[in-house]
Structure 1
Amino acid sequence: MDHWWVVCVITTMVLLAPIIILGRKRRLRTKAGNRTHLPLGTLGWPFIGETLEFISCAYTARPESFMDKRRVKYGKVFKSHIFGSPTIVSTDAEVSRFVLQSDAKVFVPSYPRSLTELMGKSSILLINGSLQRRVHGLIGAFFKSPSLKTQITQDMQKYVQESMESWEDDQLVYLQDQTKNIAFQILVKALISLDPGEEMEFLKHQFQEFIAGLMSLPINLPGTRLYKSLKAKKRMVKLVHKIIQERRTNNMARAPRDVLDVLLNDASEQLTDDLLSDNMIDLMIPGEDSVPVLMTLAVKFLSDCPLALQHLMEENMKLKRRKHELEEPLCWGDYMSLTFTQNVITETLRMGNIIIGIMRKAMKDVNIKGYMIPKGWCVFTYFRSVHLDEQLYEEPYKFNPWRWQETDMGTSNFTPFGGGQRLCPGLDLARLETCIFLHHFVTQFSWEAEEDSIVNFPTVRMKRRMPIRVKRRWDPPFPSASL
């Protein structure tokens, strides 16, 4: 698989060589005065730049080694040439914050061609200006609403319990598969109110086909990965279109029960059915990718740190007993009150770096902290290097949830969900879902984790899907108060 990816990259570079040559000449025609302000660095080999070395490092246990080597030589901000474009790489927290906070007049999203084709021009990841702010604001406000948090809490508890009830003592459970199944159902319910059943299974199958093409060769011919993924998206769009038409036909005045209702209730003519369908599908990605991986990595790191696991289990057992004595169900506020559990999630985000960084394209010449970013160049803000910087975090490669008792999360040194106008709108829900999963998992089971390793490219995941052998702790002396 790793060799296949390298072959894909080389093939892509060869196919794009004429475009790259012309684009490179145009972009490098900067004024002599500006050229002197470019960060130090090298553009690497003709056509392919430093892409192969970047990918080679990305598959190792320490993908940031590509950045570390250049940081020592050139500084925290340097120039390179990766994925077909001259690029300014930032491992400097302040520079990255400036890029994240800038609007579309300065920087716009820049993604591989296969991803942009699959997402579509109306995707929230690609649109800019007032439309992006409108869609992002509507979704973000709903994700923060008490009604959704109540619904998510109830649904998450239900799906987690249903999944865990089938686990037998000494059973080998592939945790990454289990968390994907749970998180995907939760997010789809929040987006379009689809319950488990035939349509959910159809959507899940098509979505897996769709997401497989996000980092593929940009060739849309029958039989190619991109072609298959685009076909899968069309089938999903058809299903979402049907749901949209049913709601427009019913035209029921009611409080929004999901994200689709929120967007349908908006009076803006810009929110077309195609835009709604594309974004409902794009917003499912965290349910298949980032949130399940967050849950899985939390268990991985806890497995390697018995002291943290013991502390977390005691905190959660204390809450479970207290809610039983009060004869009250667990609610959103209860989960968010689990201070150490939240610190475990925060430390998992820092070390796991599920989103390693973002790429933007400069719309004009930009000066940041004395560095020149020429118009047309890409900027790669590499979060992983910041999160693992020993100048910012003591023993950065050590899983230490206790560090967050005194460390402020609201700084530019910690950006696991991005920042600025494109800050992930579902960040609170990701934390909530992970907290609920950990609570039920650690209060019901002990486990032994089999040997596994983290793969960091093209997305973060466990190589063997995190196999664990579970054992129920005991039959609880009281019925679950959370259901």
Structure 2
Amino acid sequence: MDKVVLIVFVTPLLLFFILFYRRITWLRLIKSKHMKNQLPLGTLGWPFVGETIEFISCAYSDHPESFMDKRRNMYGKVFKSHIFGSPTIVSTDAEVNKFILQSDAKAFVPSYPKSLTELMGKSSILLINGSLQRRIHGLVGAFFKSQQLKVQITREMQNYVQQSMTNWKEDQPVYIQDETKNIAFQVLVKALISLDPGEEMELLKKHFQEFMSGLMSLPINLPGTKLHQSLQAKKKMVKLMLRTIESRRECGISKVPKDVVDVLLNDQNDRLTDELIADNMIDMMIPGEDSVPVLMTLAVKYLSECPTALQQLREENVKLKKLKDQLGEPLNWSDYLSLPFTQTVITETLRIGNVIIGVMRKAMKDVEIKGYFIPKGWCVLAYFRSIHLDDKNYDKPYQFNPWRWQDKDTSTCNFTPFGGGQRLCPGLDLARLEASIFLHHLVTQFRWYAEEDTIVNFPTVRMKRRMPILVRRVES
């Protein structure tokens, strides 16, 4: 009993001194002559917690960028802070963000909360650096751009969308966020491991949702905690993936890959072990649960609030549908992506919705950008949302206005919804395709009334009530 009392008393005290020592070290670092005049302006906030509480408080509000705006006005577009346990340089400068995104691992490496890094594992494509990361990213990116996958994804997406919409009832709300999550997950799992809907898919989805629930949890791996439950769910998914990989090896790996597993198994790199491939299949499922469904859901929300845009989108898609019906041809990849106004709607949704608000990196050496000094070991938050909603970059930035993109270039550092550099999302075209197909079938088959709902921006972007709409079927 005495030992227990001693542990209970000493452990918090020891933790306090460790944190206190780290705090003093950081303060000495800031006050050193070498950095005093070069570090961006700003404050580290309260001892130990820094400015994390205010950052999270703003993140949960309707305007999460208010934390950044307040400091931009005081210190400029690049400033120092202390959030999530680390001294951090926050950048809301497009050129600085571009430099960070395009830098290699000698300057910056990914930095994530501890719970996320533990769940992802050391071999995750989100965390690894150097030649292996470039190899996996290149292989997956090339496959996602292949003509074979374009045909397959278009066909599968159309089928899953149609199956989903067939079950919609006019006297019951349709929850768009749930519907799009289900569709996008099926499409992505098919592209990754060729798994069709069924019992195994449902089991995988169940484990995956348990896994996702712990991504932003407290970094405590004890029975009963979110992190522990997520790790257990991942182990079950890894076993399923390894069975799939073993089955492929036994049956002979197809030289013409039908999915991402085939692509990676065909590569001769010894570092691409079965365990590494299995881990990364799970990480690559995250867009199917999060970013792509949210993109589609937000598009429905913004269109519901902008009847003029909805009418133009409907006319464009009905016109294409009638043309393809007359020709007796199904819509293909290029048909969907060639719809000009549909693409501007998706682009504007990405800008104003900010499904990905930014990325975090860790400086591997002292770095100077545009006169700003970033010390080795500090974190950097390249914050996209402030740039996308800056009135100096976009007129009336909080207004949903797809027409702004009709004469505007999207390949600019002021628009980075998919990140950039070596870690640019390899599935960006797939995301646009899935959103295009979903919107096409929605506007050509239904009219709808959207019930009131609000956007929650933290820890991930989502709708508070899952975006309920009441639908009515129409003849296009």
Q: Scaled by the length of structure 1, what TM-score is found?
A: 0.94
Q: Secondary structure at the match of 2:125?
A: coil
- Deviations 1:86-119 (Å, cap 9, x if unpaired)? 0000000000000000000000010000000000
**Aligned partners of 1:360 and 1:378 also within 8 Å:** yes
Q: Secondary structure at the match of 1:171?
A: coil
Residue 436 of structure 1 pairs with residue 437 of structure 2 = yes
**Aligned partners of 2:108 and 2:361 also within 8 Å:** yes
What amino acid is the match of 2:342? T
What is the match of residue 165 of structure 2? 164
What is the match of residue 4 of structure 2? none
What is the match of residue 398 of structure 1? 399
Work out the CA distance in 1 between the residues paired with 2:474 and 2:358. 39
What amino acid is the match of 1:295? M
What amino acid is the match of 2:218? L
What amino acid is the match of 1:298? A
- Deviations 1:350-392 (Å, cap 9, x if unpaired)? 0010000000000011000000000000000000000000000
Equivalences for 1:369-388 in 2 at 5 Å?
A: 369-388=370-389
Taking a change above 3 Å as real, the CA distance of residues 21 and 141 of structure 1, as seen in their structure-2 partners, is farther
Q: Secondary structure at the match of 1:470?
A: strand
Work out the CA distance in 1 between the residues paired with 2:402 and 2:469. 22
**Aligned partners of 1:63 and 1:456 also within 8 Å:** yes
Work out the CA distance in 2 between the residues paired with 1:384 and 1:18. 37
What is the match of residue 256 of structure 2? 255
**Aligned partners of 2:23 and 2:48 also within 8 Å:** no
What is the match of residue 481 of structure 1? none
Work out the CA distance in 2 between the residues paired with 1:385 and 1:34. 27
Number of aligned positions between the proteins: 463
Taking a change above 3 Å as real, the CA distance of residues 18 and 345 of structure 1, as seen in their structure-2 partners, is farther
CA shift at 1:252, angstroms? 3.7
What is the match of residue 422 of structure 1? 423
What is the match of residue 7 of structure 1? none
What is the match of residue 223 of structure 1? 224
Q: Secondary structure at the match of 1:247?
A: helix
What is the match of residue 3 of structure 2? none
**Aligned partners of 2:253 and 2:265 also within 8 Å:** no
What amino acid is the match of 1:307? T
- Deviations 1:208-239 (Å, cap 9, x if unpaired)? 00000000000000000000000000000000
**Aligned partners of 1:219 and 1:227 also within 8 Å:** yes
Work out the CA distance in 2 between the residues paired with 1:84 and 1:264. 39
What amino acid is the match of 2:151? T
CA shift at 1:274, angstroms? 1.1
What is the match of residue 7 of structure 2? none
Equivalences for 1:350-369 in 2 at 5 Å?
A: 350-369=351-370
**Aligned partners of 1:27 and 1:374 also within 8 Å:** no
Work out the CA distance in 2 between the residues paired with 1:133 and 1:236. 25
What amino acid is the match of 2:163? E
What is the match of residue 321 of structure 1? 322
Residue 264 of structure 1 pairs with residue 228 of structure 2 = no
Q: Secondary structure at the match of 2:205?
A: helix
Taking a change above 3 Å as real, the CA distance of residues 303 and 17 of structure 1, as seen in their structure-2 partners, is farther
**Aligned partners of 2:92 and 2:387 also within 8 Å:** yes
Work out the CA distance in 1 between the residues paired with 2:13 and 2:236. 32
Taking a change above 3 Å as real, the CA distance of residues 49 and 15 of structure 1, as seen in their structure-2 partners, is farther
**Aligned partners of 2:253 and 2:266 also within 8 Å:** no
Taking a change above 3 Å as real, the CA distance of residues 165 and 279 of structure 1, as seen in their structure-2 partners, is same
What is the match of residue 295 of structure 2? 294
Equivalences for 1:436-455 in 2 at 5 Å?
A: 436-455=437-456
**Aligned partners of 1:340 and 1:401 also within 8 Å:** yes
What is the match of residue 103 of structure 2? 102
**Aligned partners of 1:27 and 1:377 also within 8 Å:** no
What is the match of residue 130 of structure 1? 131
Work out the CA distance in 2 between the residues paired with 1:472 and 1:172. 13
CA shift at 1:251, angstroms? 1.6
Residue 389 of structure 1 pairs with residue 390 of structure 2 = yes
**Aligned partners of 2:58 and 2:64 also within 8 Å:** yes
Structure 2: segments with no counterpart, 5+ residues: 1-11
Work out the CA distance in 2 between the residues paired with 1:68 and 1:15. 37
Work out the CA distance in 1 between the residues paired with 2:187 and 2:359. 26
Q: Scaled by the length of structure 2, what TM-score is found?
A: 0.95
What is the match of residue 458 of structure 2? 457
Work out the CA distance in 1 between the residues paired with 2:19 and 2:110. 19
What amino acid is the match of 1:206? H
What RMSD over aligned residues (CA atoms) do the two structures have, in Å? 1.3
Residue 69 of structure 1 pairs with residue 65 of structure 2 = no
Equivalences for 1:295-314 in 2 at 5 Å?
A: 295-314=296-315
Taking a change above 3 Å as real, the CA distance of residues 18 and 304 of structure 1, as seen in their structure-2 partners, is farther
Work out the CA distance in 1 between the residues paired with 2:438 and 2:249. 35
Q: Secondary structure at the match of 1:406?
A: coil
Structure 1: segments with no counterpart, 5+ residues: 1-12, 477-483
- Deviations 1:114-167 (Å, cap 9, x if unpaired)? 000000000000000001000101000101111101100000000000010111
- More deviation in 460-469 or 28-37? 28-37
**Aligned partners of 2:23 and 2:47 also within 8 Å:** no
Work out the CA distance in 2 between the residues paired with 1:451 and 1:15. 50
Work out the CA distance in 1 between the residues paired with 2:435 and 2:207. 25
What amino acid is the match of 1:444? Q
Taking a change above 3 Å as real, the CA distance of residues 99 and 15 of structure 1, as seen in their structure-2 partners, is farther
**Aligned partners of 1:114 and 1:216 also within 8 Å:** yes
Work out the CA distance in 2 between the residues paired with 1:16 and 1:421. 38
- More deviation in 29-38 or 16-25? 16-25
Q: Secondary structure at the match of 1:48?
A: coil
Work out the CA distance in 2 between the residues paired with 1:263 and 1:401. 38
